[in-house]
Every structure is written in C-alpha cells, then in structure tokens.
Amino acid sequence: MKNNEAIEKRRTFGIIAHPDAGKTTLTEKLLLFGGAIQTAGAVKNNKIKKTATSDFMEIEKQRGISVATSVMAFEYAGKQINILDTPGHKDFAEDTYRTLTAVDSVILVIDAANGVESQTEKLMEVCRMRNTPVIIYVNKMDREGKDAFSLLDELEDKLDIKVRPLTWPIGMGDRFKGVYNLHDKSLNLFQVNKTKVEKDVVTISDLNDKTLDELVGEQFANELREEVEVINGVYDEFDREKYLAGELAPVFFGSAVNNFGVKELLDTFIQISPSPKGRETDARFIEPAESKFTGFVFKIHANLDPKHRDRIAFLRIVSGKFERNTFYQHVRQNKKMKFANPTSFMAQDKSIIEEAFPGDVVGLYDTGNFKIGDTLTEGENLQFKGIPSFSPEIFMELENLDPMKSKQLDKGIHQLTDEGVAQMFIVQPGNRKIVGTVGQLQFEVIQYRLTNEYGANCRFTPKPYTKAVWITSDNPEQIESFKRAKGNHLAKDKDDNLVFFAETQFLLDMAEKDYPDITFHKTSEFKLETI
C-alpha cells in the first residue's frame, strides 16, 4: 500500500469524558459496530460481572473505572479506525492530556442529565490548545436529563465552541422515541437493545410526511417539526472546515448502552474527521506524507500482560512507514534500535505487524530504553514537542516495609513512574523517594500494582508540598545560593534535573521574586532545549 493511500484511510481519535458519562461503554459499542467484537458485555453491571473491552487492568475491573489509556484498532467502511480510550477520572488527567497529543480528533461524551462537568471543561481546554476537531455525543437519552436546547447552550457557553446538532432526539427518558438524522434525513427508532447491532432506519426526507406521525405519534412528530425548524433558524449549517479547525463541534444524541445513536455517529465520523496530521518538532514541522519514518512515544505500560511481565511503549507514527526488523534512530539515546515483535492492539489482545503507517499506534516491547516523549527517526536528529510532564500537586514519600524486597520495589516504582502515572524525585541524603501525582487515586493504583505485580510491600507517607517545579538558570552563583537557602526542599528527578518543592503558592511566588535569574518550569517541556 502506498503511503498516501494508507494515510487517507486512517482515522486516529481519542474518546474523552467526565467519569461515568459512558465513555468506555461508547468505545465498546463503536467496536461492536466495527465488527471488532461480536457482543457487548453489560459494562459495570453489578449482576453481570463483565467489563469493557478496554478496561483490562485488574484494579480497573474492581473499581469500575478506566485508569490506563487503551488502544484499539479495527476497519469500518474502508477506513482503518484507531481509538484511544482514555481515563475519565480526574486523577489520571495527565495520562489523558498526553494521549491527546497522539490523536488527530476527539469524541467528547456528555451525560444528558449532568451536562458539562468540571473534567469536561479541562479536557476541552487541552483540545482547544491544539485546535483539535471535536465531535460531541450526548449520552443516556433513555434516562431523564436536561432539555436538548439547554444542553446545546451549555456546551457553547462552558466549552467556548460553536455547536451544530447533526441528529436530534425525539423525547427523553421513558418518552424517548429515537433520533432524527438532520444530516441525511433519516429516522432511527429507539429500541432497548444492549447486545447486538440494530440497523432498522426509516428514510423520511420530508418531515411533513404522515409516516412520521404513524411511527412516533402525532404529538412527538409535531414537536420534532417545530424543533428542527428552530435548529435550522438558529444554528449555522454544518461546515467541515470549521470543524477541522476546532471551531465548530457537531452534536449527536443517543444511548450508548443500548447501541443507539452510535451508528450515526460512526458513519458521520468517518466522512468528516481528519486523516492523520503532522506534528511540530524542535527542528521543523513533520508532514505525514514524508517518505522517511518518524514517531514518538506517548505512553509506556508495564505488565500489560501480568503473566509475561512485559513492558510496552506506545508509539504514534507521524510520517513514513514503520517496518518490522528495521533499524531506527533512538534520538535521545543516540543509538540504533530494531523491533522484532511490533504489535497492534485490541485492548489487551495484541498481534504482531509487519508495517504501520502515519496515524497508527504501535506497541514496542521495551527493556527500559524508552521514556515518554522519546522520538524514533530514520536518522534525523529531532524531538517532537508537546508531550510534557506536568507539575504534581500531591506528594508522598515511598517507604519500604520489607527490606528483603528492596530490588523489587525499586524496579517497580521506576517502571510505574516511567509510564507517566506519577513522577518520582530523589531526595538526599538517604536516597529517599518522593512520588508526586495530580490525584489521590493514583497512589492507590501504584500501591496496588507494586504489591500485586512486583511483590513489594510498601506504604506512602504524605509530604506537605503543593507544587514541584523544575529550576534552571544561566547564573550558577544564584543556583548555588538557592541550594544553600532551600536545600531541604530540593530534589532531583529521574533525569537528574533539579526540582524545587514548594509548600504553598505564596512561597513559590516569593522564590521566583527573590531569585530572578532562576526559571521555575511548571512542565518538563524545557528539557527539549537541553537534549
């Protein structure tokens, strides 16, 4: 397959949402429509202990939440679909932010009852930073929720983006009759159906057709006619260029758990969504159609399969063609590497691939060579931008409760922090390990995995810090002065960069004022300048 054909065929997107909006359920149903799975389990159903295809870590199954980004690929209507399902929980937002650097568009899931929630707004801010195209899926229409027009107003107001409904709900909750597709003038009648794909759609090109009254009842038919008239009068026609520029979000309504409204979403998505985009580096902009291979690591996951203790780096291909058993340049380490078993994913199921193209996400078995943000090329010395670590906000000291398992603990915490779920800082004297995260739940996950995957018995002790910032300066005297004054609040990160722990924002502000020649970095992006 030629590169240009492969690029046009691919669609790589992330699914994002506030917790419990139904994001993982929607992911599973997209796989169902794509033929990637045959039946859907009842996600998070207490009576039926099945879990979503994309939730494969044991702790995810126990807690009923996604805490790791899953990658899934399937073909649909002639397109290669690559889905990156992300954690919804706010404590794992950093993993989601990094994943958004590896996608070309997103589907944002909204709970019809709750509307726009806090995590939704934060995720949308990241999308706007990159002008990422967004499609919105309003979920749980089979339950009582907010009025559809009120939801549209809330989306525009809180997410700071213009919207255009492409499907429209008929009723809600117990009165939910289905959705009308404004895009292709068809009616999809609602049926409670959780396990298989329903394809009965009625074409109604003229809303005045009396068939509509027969199908949904006169009252609902009249309501739909009036509401569609309002939509056409208030909202601009859908403009794909504005959508691709991140200025306009098409909106779909449905019920993911019932497989409803999902096909309309998927069919429209493959028509309007962008093919793989290029990426900025510290040297130049890389176009996907370039002949030479480039790619970057945006996620690392240890023990994806606990039986094999494997560690996999997730590589997003930006340009050229990636081939198995071919030597590529690991830019940071300045060495050549080749990969005998590169894999594609269906959640925890992996298959070896011979080649991959821009937009694809490939799993590389890793013995500790990779860090998040690493770049592979055919020899060119460049580093992709925009894959930072963020300043943590919660800090705890890791204490070993079993001296006989020191090696296991050391290996475990190094591998888990390499994944990006947390950051580790070393404090001297004593080589003490301080772990920093953006959420409390991450400590539960880390402790659970250290115990169950590495056999390391440990505990976390809270530290009184609220911020960790990286510090650099061209003035060595001021750095030395800072070390003397703040020695008890300094540490090194895993790359041996100097880090300052601040107990309050006020103390951080004072430090910045007292030491004007020192730069206090809130993310790790500055490291690119030193590579």
The candidate with the shortest Cα–Cα distance to 239, out of 91, 131, 101, 133, is 133
Q: What is the pLDDT of residues 83-140, one digit of tens each?
A: 887 765 454 556 777 788 899 999 999 999 999 988 788 788 878 878 899 999 999 9
Same domain, 268 and 301: no
The candidate with the shortest Cα–Cα distance to 262, out of 31, 485, 456, 443, is 31
Higher pLDDT, 33 or 50: 33
The candidate with the shortest Cα–Cα distance to 366, out of 309, 430, 420, 442, is 309
Same domain, 215 and 362: no
Same domain, 410 and 524: yes
Higher pLDDT, 297 or 202: 297
pLDDT of residue 37: 61
**Residue 66: pLDDT band with limits 50, 70, 90:** very low
**Out of 1-5, 45-49, 200-204, 288-292, which region has the weakest mean confidence (pLDDT)?**
45-49
Residue 266 sits at φ, ψ, to 5 deg, of -65, -45
Same domain, 258 and 340: no
Q: Is residue 387 part of a domain?
A: no
Q: Is residue 508 part of a domain?
A: yes
Q: Is residue 18 part of a domain?
A: yes
Q: What is the pLDDT of residues 465-495, one digit of tens each?
A: 988 999 999 999 999 999 999 989 999 988 8
Structural domains counted in the chain: 3
Higher pLDDT, 308 or 364: 364
The candidate with the shortest Cα–Cα distance to 93, out of 121, 71, 119, 113, is 119
| Token code pair at residue 381 | 């010395």
Give ∠ CA 463-510-392 in degrees, rounded to 5: 35
Q: What is the pLDDT of residues 442-457, one digit of tens each?
A: 788 888 888 888 899 9
Q: Is residue 477 part of a domain?
A: yes
**Residue 523: pLDDT band with limits 50, 70, 90:** confident
Amino acid at 299: K
292: helix, coil or strand?
coil
Same domain, 369 and 432: no
Percentage of the chain modeled with pLDDT above 90: 46
For residue 294, how far is the Cα from the chain centroid?
21
pLDDT of residue 68: 43
Higher pLDDT, 260 or 500: 500
Higher pLDDT, 428 or 64: 428
Q: Is residue 297 part of a domain?
A: yes
125: helix, coil or strand?
helix
Are the C-beta atoms of residues 521 and 471 closer than 8 Å to each other? yes
342 preceded by cis ω (within 30°)? no
Q: Is residue 386 part of a domain?
A: no
Q: What is the CATH number of the domain that holds 470?
A: 3.30.70.3280
Q: What is the DSSP string of 32-72?
A: HHTTSSSS---BT-SSS-B--TT--SHHHHHHTS--S-EEE
Same domain, 41 and 171: yes
Higher pLDDT, 274 or 369: 274
**Chain mean pLDDT for the chain:** 83
pLDDT of residue 60: 47
Stated length of the chain:
531
Q: Is the pLDDT of residue 266 over 50?
A: yes
In angstroms, rounded to a whole number, what is the distance separating the alpha carbons of residues 485 and 469?
16
Same domain, 223 and 259: yes
* Range 64-68, long-range pairs (CB < 8 A, 24+ positions): 65/19, 65/89, 66/23, 66/24, 66/92, 67/92, 67/421, 67/441, 67/445, 68/92, 68/95, 68/301
In angstroms, rounded to a whole number, what is the distance separating the alpha carbons of residues 317 and 82?
12
Q: What is the CATH number of the domain that holds 86?
A: 3.40.50.300
pLDDT of residue 36: 62
Q: Is residue 383 part of a domain?
A: no
pLDDT of residue 210: 83
Which residue, 237, 252, 272, sits at the end of a domain?
Answer: 272
**Residue 387: pLDDT band with limits 50, 70, 90:** low
Q: What is the pLDDT of residues 148-196, one digit of tens each?
A: 999 999 999 999 999 999 999 998 898 888 888 887 777 778 766 555 5
For residue 392, how far is the Cα from the chain centroid?
19
pLDDT of residue 49: 35
In angstroms, rounded to a whole number, what is the distance separating the alpha carbons of residues 159 and 154?
8
Same domain, 267 and 301: no
Same domain, 322 and 266: no
Q: What is the pLDDT of residues 270-312, one digit of tens each?
A: 999 999 999 999 899 999 999 999 999 988 876 555 554 567 8
Same domain, 98 and 32: yes
**Residue 69: pLDDT band with limits 50, 70, 90:** very low
Same domain, 116 and 41: yes
pLDDT of residue 43: 35
Residue-range definition of the domain harbouring residue 454: 394-530
Q: Is residue 385 part of a domain?
A: no
Which residue, 217, 249, 272, sits at the end of a domain?
Answer: 272
pLDDT of residue 312: 84
Higher pLDDT, 419 or 216: 216
Q: Residue 191: which region, alpha, beta or left (left: phi > 0; alpha: psi -120 to 50)? A: beta
Q: What is the DSSP string of 128-154?
A: HHTT--EEEEEE-TTS----HHHHHHH
Amino acid at 505: Q
399: helix, coil or strand?
strand
Residue 527 sits at φ, ψ, to 5 deg, of -65, -25
Same domain, 172 and 102: yes
Cβ neighbour number for residue 495 with a 10 Å cutoff: 11
In angstroms, rounded to a whole number, what is the distance separating the alpha carbons of residues 332 and 531?
7
Which residue, 315, 348, 377, sits at the end of a domain?
Answer: 377
